[in-house]
């Protein structure tokens, strides 16, 4: 039997990914300790200073092959003992794990500078630090949701909304209690009442020109100050921004630990804001009276409470099934044709991906939400009946401008429930077989035949297509900007 050839460490260092100066250093330390040698003893044996060997043992310096051979001889072992020896003891394994963690992104992101792991550091402390680092990594991975994970969370939330007919009694009760505390008489909520709610919750309002770009508001919980953009007083609805900012405090939200929790908190915040702007008791009475006259109108709800059409549409969907016994659907569609929000409990078939999410899908070109963009009359609401593979639906829709382009907002019902609405006499009709046929998902055969081989579009690729969603407890928010802003504006 031929002798075992010597281990070529230089070859392994190039070809084997397991070569790690930190691992070799800990093996040297373990062998030295087992033989009862001090660092000074080993340094003398190999004619080096102790500090140099200390750096090798700590993995901070990579030793040359000649020095490793000398160390192995001094320890009375072969070179292979430094390379393929038995597993390290528990302490050495923990130290290596913590050393690697300190060089990783988690410690750097937390601003924790690497430190020396001395003999006096308890083994239990090493275990605790590694456990904390592992949990932080898990949370970072959970929060860095991929678009697929975000869609799954959104689908789960939409299913919950459908189960409850988009009506949440606890949130309605929160709104009633809060309005009672500020002696709101009912009806539309004034801007002064919104300020009274802020004061009741211990906040003063401050409109500033330098609100961090990634935020809509910033609450200083320590000093009871709520900062909003000064542009709100010139455009938009100041009440909505104030109430959305305060709703999280009313609901006792804590820092979200996942994208699903963040999404749920956002839905709850928007729901409570709508319930404050359009109080349930007052609005339900008005809607029931309108139903008795067969004259329900989203526009009338919007005008009665001085809110946006989208807010009125959302609020109608909260109350319609619970109080009017009318199943409904809601769509918000970008001018590009992409669905950005959806809800239904009337069995309408929206286009969905394999996860069941309609957000991000293209809305059928023949559906009311797309047709309304081409209607020249932007003053009056647009109504349309649409025959689908799942029955006939009637929708009312409007186009609203936003910072991200124009969006259509539409509310619809089954054909049998159209009798309760203004606009039921419209002559506008469409046919959408999107849910059961190719419909508009492919170009007409004549056009495709003429242009398929002669067209090459330059795609405007969404910037998030290959990226994960923004990370952090509050996705996309630059916390440094927020903290610097609060520091600059905090009362002296």
Closest-CA residue to 136 (of 106, 115, 113, 109): 106
Residue with tokens 């969907």, as numbered in its chain:
317
Q: Give the integer Cα–Cα distance in Å for 86 and 93.
A: 12
Dump pLDDT digits (tens) for 29-49. Answer: 878 888 888 888 888 888 888
The per-residue pLDDT of the chain, averaged, comes to: 84
CB 150 within 8 A of CB 119: no
Higher per-residue pLDDT: 326 or 365: 326
DSSP type of residue 185: -
Q: What are all long-range contacts of 158-167, with beta carbons under 8 Å and residues at least 24 apart? A: 158/342, 158/343, 158/357, 161/267, 161/343, 162/343, 162/344, 162/345, 165/321, 165/322, 165/327, 165/345, 166/317, 166/318, 166/321, 166/343, 166/345, 167/318, 167/319, 167/321, 167/322
| Domains in the chain, CATH or no CATH each | 9-141 (1.10.260.40), 145-277+472-492 (no CATH), 282-435 (3.30.450.20)
Dump pLDDT digits (tens) for 408-431. Answer: 999 999 999 999 999 999 999 999
Amino acid 28: pLDDT: 84
Q: How far is CA 247 from CA 14, 250, 283, in A?
A: 58, 5, 20
Q: Is the CA virtual torsion 357, 359, 360, 363 positive or negative?
A: positive
Q: Is 235 helix (H, G, I), strand (E, B) or coil?
A: coil
Amino acid 3: pLDDT: 41
| Among 94-98, 171-175, 216-220, 460-464, the least confident range | 460-464
- Crossing angle of helices 191-200 and 169-181, in 10° steps, is 90
Counting residues of the chain whose pLDDT is more than 70, the rounded percentage is: 87
| Among 103-117, 157-171, 360-374, 383-397, the least confident range | 103-117
Q: What are phi and psi of 361, to 5 degrees?
A: -85, 160
Amino acid 31: pLDDT: 82
In 111-255, alpha helices (H):
123-143, 147-163, 169-181, 191-200, 238-250
Amino acid 16: pLDDT: 39
Q: What are phi and psi of 205, to 5 degrees?
A: -95, 135
Residues 6+ apart with CB under 8 A from 113: none
Q: How far is CA 48 from CA 30, 51, 53, 69, 189, in A?
A: 19, 8, 7, 13, 80
CB 312 within 8 A of CB 411: no
Cβ atoms within 10 Å, residue 463 = 7
Dump pLDDT digits (tens) for 119-154. Answer: 888 989 888 888 888 877 766 665 556 677 778 888
Closest-CA residue to 364 (of 447, 438, 442, 440): 440
Q: Give the integer Cα–Cα distance in Å for 65 and 10.
A: 7
Q: How far is CA 307 from CA 156, 272, 300, 314, 451, in A?
A: 29, 14, 11, 11, 46
Q: Give the integer Cα–Cα distance in Å for 326 and 319.
A: 9
Q: How far is CA 487 from CA 68, 202, 223, 398, 483, in A?
A: 54, 20, 11, 42, 6
Amino acid 134: pLDDT: 81
Q: Give the integer Cα–Cα distance in Å for 345 and 161.
A: 9
Does residue 456 register a pLDDT over 70?
yes
Residue 2's pLDDT band, with cuts at 50, 70 and 90, is very low
Amino acid 463: pLDDT: 53
- Crossing angle of helices 169-181 and 280-292, in 10° steps, is 110
Between strands 225-229 and 204-208, the pairing is parallel
SS3 sequence, 383-446?
Answer: EEEEEEECEEEEEEEEEECCCCCCEEEEEEEEHHHHHHECCCCCCCEEEECCCCCCHHHCCCHH
Residue with tokens 């949370």, as numbered in its chain:
139
338-351: average pLDDT: 91
HSE on the CB side for 441, CA within 13 Å?
A: 11
| Among 84-88, 200-204, 453-457, the least confident range | 84-88
CB 297 within 8 A of CB 422: yes
Counting residues of the chain whose pLDDT is more than 90, the rounded percentage is: 40
Question: Which residues lie across from 386 on neighbouring strands?
Answer: 393, 430
Higher per-residue pLDDT: 84 or 261: 261
CB 339 within 8 A of CB 332: yes
Residue with tokens 């070179």, as numbered in its chain:
79
| Among 90-99, 103-112, 127-136, the least confident range | 103-112
């Amino acid at each position: 039997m031929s002798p075992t050839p010597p281990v070529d460490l230089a070859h392994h260092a190039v070809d084997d990914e397991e070569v790690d100066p930190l691992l070799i250093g800990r093996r040297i330390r373990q062998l030295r300790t087992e033989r009862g040698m001090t660092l000074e003893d080993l340094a003398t044996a190999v004619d080096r200073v102790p500090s140099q060997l200390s750096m090798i043992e700590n993995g901070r310096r990579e030793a040359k092959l000649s020095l490793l051979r000398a160390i192995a001889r001094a320890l009375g072992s072969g070179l292979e003992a430094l390379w393929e020896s038995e597993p390290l003891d528990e302490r050495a394994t923990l130290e290596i794990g913590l050393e690697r963690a300190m060089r990783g992104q988690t410690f750097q992101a937390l601003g924790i500078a690497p430190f020396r792991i001395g003999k006096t550091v308890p083994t239990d402390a090493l275990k605790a630090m590694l456990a904390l680092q592992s949990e932080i990594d898990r949370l970072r991975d959970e929060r860095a949701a991929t678009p697929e994970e975000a869609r799954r969370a959104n689908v789960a939330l939409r299913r919950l909304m459908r189960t409850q007919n988009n009506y949440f009694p606890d949130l309605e009760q929160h709104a009633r209690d809060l309005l009672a505390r500020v002696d709101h008489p009912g009806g539309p909520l004034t801007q002064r009442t919104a300020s009274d709610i802020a004061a009741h919750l211990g906040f003063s309002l401050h409109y500033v020109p330098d609100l961090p770009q990634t935020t809509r508001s910033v609450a200083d919980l320590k000093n009871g100050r709520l900062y909003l953009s000064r542009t709100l007083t010139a455009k938009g609805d100041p009440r909505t921004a104030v109430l959305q900012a305060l709703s999280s405090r009313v609901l006792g939200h804590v820092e979200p630990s996942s994208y699903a929790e963040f999404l749920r908190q956002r839905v709850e915040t928007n729901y409570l804001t709508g319930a404050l702007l359009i109080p349930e008791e007052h609005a339900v009475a008005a809607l029931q009276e309108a139903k008795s006259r067969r004259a329900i109108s989203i526009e009338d709800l919007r005008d009665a409470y001085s809110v946006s059409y989208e807010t009125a549409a959302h609020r109608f969907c909260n109350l319609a099934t619970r109080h009017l016994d009318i199943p409904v659907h809601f769509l918000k569609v970008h001018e590009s044709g992409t669905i950005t929000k959806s809800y239904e409990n009337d069995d309408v078939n929206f286009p969905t991906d394999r996860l069941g999410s309609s957000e991000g899908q293209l809305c059928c070109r023949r559906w009311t939400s797309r047709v309304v963009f081409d209607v020249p009359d932007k003053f009056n609401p647009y109504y349309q009946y649409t025959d689908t593979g799942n029955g006939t639906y009637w929708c009312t829709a409007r186009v609203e401008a936003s910072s991200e382009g124009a969006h259509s907002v539409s509310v619809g019902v089954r054909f049998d429930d159209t009798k309760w609405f203004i606009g039921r006499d419209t002559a506008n009709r469409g046919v959408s077989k999107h849910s059961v046929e190719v419909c508009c998902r492919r170009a007409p055969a004549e056009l495709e035949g003429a242009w398929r081989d002669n067209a090459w579009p330059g795609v405007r690729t969404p910037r998030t297509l290959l990226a994960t969603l923004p990370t952090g407890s509050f996705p996309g928010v630059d916390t440094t900007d927020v903290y610097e802003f609060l520091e600059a504006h905090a009362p002296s």
